[in-house]
Amino acid sequence: MKTICSSSTRFAGQDFDLVKWRLIAGAVSACHFVLDYETDTLTFSQECLEIVALPSVEWTPVSSFSNVIFPDDLDVWLGALRRFESGQTPRLSCDFRLPAREGGYLWVRCTGEGLHLQNGKPLLLCGCVHNIAEELTAAAQGEMDNCAQSSRRPFLVDPLTGMPNRLSFYSDMKELMNQSIQSTIIIIDIKNFKNINDMYGHSLGDMMLTEFAALMRDKLPQLARLYRFGGDEFAAVWPWSRRAAVDKFAEEFLQISEQPLLVCGQRVRYFLSIGAACFPDDGRNVDELLKCADVALSKAKAKLWDGYSYFTIEDRNTYMQQLELDVLLHQSVENNFHGFQVFYQPIVGAKNRQCTGAEALLRWQTPDGIYIPPARVIPLLEKSGLISRVGLWVLETAVRQTSKWVHLNTDKTFLINVNLSAHQLLDRMLPERILTILDRFSLAPGNLSLEVTESSVINNMGEACEILQSLRNRGVRIALDDFGTGYSSLSHLQTLPIDEIKIDRSFLKGVADTGYNKSFVSTIVELAHSLQRVICAEGVEEQVQYQALRDLKVDKLQGYLFGRPTSLETFQKSFVPYYYAGNEGYVKDL
């Protein structure tokens, strides 16, 4: 790893090394980029705009660049950056898609080299951007029949299964489309693959994928071709196929998959989700068609165990609405977050019902003033990767506001809770970003609590825990949200770096009666207290629930009984009266 002791000489206000590098890069390749970790800025040379349609050449913070990357490729870019930033690799090399000038997306390869400070922190990353679309198309020619055995062009073959990969899929589909051959694409996903990996280990997981690929290849009709997209996702392209034949294949294959796979003497039980869409009916280009198959796949995934779904007209309407909302959300973000708002819901102490803090909750309205509920907005933001920027905006807005409340009051303990999404936990720079915001608005880290769900941490356990622990070391509090839903592992209460547990509102139903929910809450409270964790119950709507939870020794409560999420104005009027009436203490008796 190259290291540097301190930032080098300045030249006309700029880092001399950077200036020098730009000159060299410019001489070698017109299309280059510079990522400056000191200013958290990613800059592309103007020449890059000749190959890709970037709305800007400068991206601050660097995470904002994620929004233009083709969503499926985002992990490739973030993974490569992470490996460089952690010093795992001295160089960066990754292929992903960016918006093409003529519409759609274009494959590019980013290669670069960088510098780290002596303390291991990344300082600078500089490199080139290459258009590899032509290279890929050329490589794909002649590969159609014999891709699996090809050693000359390994980037079209998945090394684990020997199947053609996603790039190969693109080039084959384009070929079929050029020849106007009616074809179905089928996407297959192993729903419980993560559990299989966790239960049996990664090497058995890899062997299972190979066995599964062989089984699927065997059962698909001769005409169809199978590809591995990565992870546990496979796709098949079936030229000249009829809907009835595809339905029959999917149903029969789901039946076959009811039998466990025998892998290294282990009988592995797996569940499949299958989604299908058809060219030309459902889409005229590969990306459009893949999106339709993805919509069908999401529907299939929503089924309890195995599931199959074929893209329909109703799906198209839902999809078009989502696309429209997606465009509007992007516009809102680019337009300085216009249309977004932060609402605040009070959190009260269980003993005296006094407001001790609030949860910041995102709200969004379309330019026509139509309010779209968070349950629709958040998944869309997550899918497009915009959640990282919007999440930080919520945090900044809430921190700025809380700082005003805390500084105006003698009691400095007001706690603002802000939600973090799984996407944000992929960003290694997150602790620094958050601490910078706290610093900018002079709010103590102890006034901020970050809410994470078990699933968002578990999907990326090692790194997510590192990020949370480093924030916790600096005094920021961490809360485990929606506890009791999803994984709900009691061992997580002990192992995850958390200060607080928020019991999901589904457990409040009947909590006042004797029954499962009461025992569940009582057990969690006992366990949490023995581990010195604070416990908060969400969704308190009735007086009897309040009394029961207080008797069960829950520490904090949140719910409509004490206050709904409201706009800043309303929240301040009801819960921060000193904000208007002088500095007399914000506590309000409810």
Residue 560 binds which one of Ca ion, ligand C2E, none, with CB within 5 to 8 A depending on kind?
ligand C2E
Nearer to Ca ion, 268 or 361 (CB): 361
Residue 462 binds which one of ligand C2E, Ca ion, none, with CB within 5 to 8 A depending on kind?
none
C-beta of residue 556 within 8 angstroms of C-beta of residue 349: yes
For residue 527, the one-letter residue type is L
C-beta of residue 153 within 8 angstroms of C-beta of residue 139: yes
Would you list the DSSP string of 107-153?
EEEEEEEEEEETTS-EEEEEEEEEE-HHHHHHHHTT-TTTGGG-SS-
Q: Check binding of 559 to ligand C2E (CB under 6 A).
A: yes
Q: Check binding of 481 to ligand C2E (CB under 6 A).
A: yes
User: Least CB distance from residue 203 to ligand C2E, whole Å?
Assistant: 34
Q: Which of 481, 528, 565, 566 binds Ca ion (CB under 5 A)?
A: 481
Q: How many residues bind Ca ion (CB under 5 A)?
A: 5
CA separation, residue 331 to residues 42, 67, 71, 81 (Å): 21, 12, 17, 27
Cα distance between residue 286 and residue 140, in whole Å: 16
CA 330 from centroid of its chain's CA atoms:
16
Q: Which of 85, 482, 500, 555 binds Ca ion (CB under 5 A)?
A: 482
**Binding pattern for the stretch 183-212 against ligand C2E, x by CB under 6 A and - elsewhere:** ------------------------------
Q: Which of 78, 416, 565, 587 binds ligand C2E (CB under 6 A)?
A: 565
Q: Is 327 exposed, middle or buried (0-12, 13-18, 19+ CB in 10 A)?
A: exposed
Q: Is 368 exposed, middle or buried (0-12, 13-18, 19+ CB in 10 A)?
A: exposed
Binding segment for ligand C2E (CB under 6 A), chosen from 50-58, 87-95, 152-160, 555-563, is: 555-563
CA separation, residue 450 to residues 299, 399, 468 (Å): 31, 12, 9
Q: Check binding of 419 to ligand C2E (CB under 6 A).
A: yes
Nearer to Ca ion, 315 or 538 (CB): 538
Q: Which of 362, 406, 437, 458 binds ligand C2E (CB under 6 A)?
A: 362
> Please, how many CA atoms are within 13 Å of residue 110, restricted to the half-sphere of its CB?
28
Can you tell me whether residue 7 is helix, strand or coil? coil
Q: Which two tokens stand for residue 329?
A: 């959300």
User: Least CB distance from residue 329 to ligand C2E, whole Å?
Assistant: 13
Partnered with residue 142 across adjacent β-strands are: none
Residue 545 binds which one of ligand C2E, Ca ion, none, with CB within 5 to 8 A depending on kind?
none
Q: Check binding of 371 to ligand C2E (CB under 6 A).
A: no
Nearest-CB residue for ligand C2E: 559
Name residues contacting Ca ion, limited to 416-435 (CB under 5 A): 419
Binding segment for ligand C2E (CB under 6 A), chosen from 103-111, 205-213, 294-302, 534-542, is: 534-542
Partnered with residue 348 across adjacent β-strands are: 355, 557
Q: Check binding of 425 to ligand C2E (CB under 6 A).
A: no
Q: Which two tokens stand for residue 155?
A: 């980037």
Residue spans of beta strands (DSSP E) within 476-530: 477-483, 500-503
Neighbour tally for 237: CB within 10 Å = 23
CA 491 from centroid of its chain's CA atoms:
24
Q: Check binding of 482 to ligand C2E (CB under 6 A).
A: yes
Calculate helix-pair angle for 430-440, 461-473, nearest 10 degrees. 30
Binding segment for ligand C2E (CB under 6 A), chosen from 197-205, 329-337, 348-356, 367-375, is: 367-375
Residue 53 binds which one of Ca ion, ligand C2E, none, with CB within 5 to 8 A depending on kind?
none
**Binding pattern for the stretch 338-357 against ligand C2E, x by CB under 6 A and - elsewhere:** -------x------------
Query: Who's near 584: CB < 8 A, 6+ residues apart?
Result: 577, 578
Residue 394 binds which one of Ca ion, ligand C2E, none, with CB within 5 to 8 A depending on kind?
ligand C2E
Partnered with residue 117 across adjacent β-strands are: 4
Query: Who's near 77: CB < 8 A, 6+ residues apart?
Result: 66, 69, 94, 96, 110
**Binding pattern for the stretch 446-475 against ligand C2E, x by CB under 6 A and - elsewhere:** -----x------------------------
Name residues contacting Ca ion, limited to 441-460 (CB under 5 A): 451
Nearer to ligand C2E, 244 or 375 (CB): 375
Nearer to Ca ion, 242 or 509 (CB): 509
Neighbour tally for 133: CB within 10 Å = 17
Residues near ligand C2E (CB under 6 A) are 345, 361-362, 373-375, 378, 387, 391, 394, 419, 421, 451, 481-482, 505, 538-541, 558-560, 565
Give me the residues that bind Ca ion (CB under 5 A), please.
419, 451, 481-482, 538
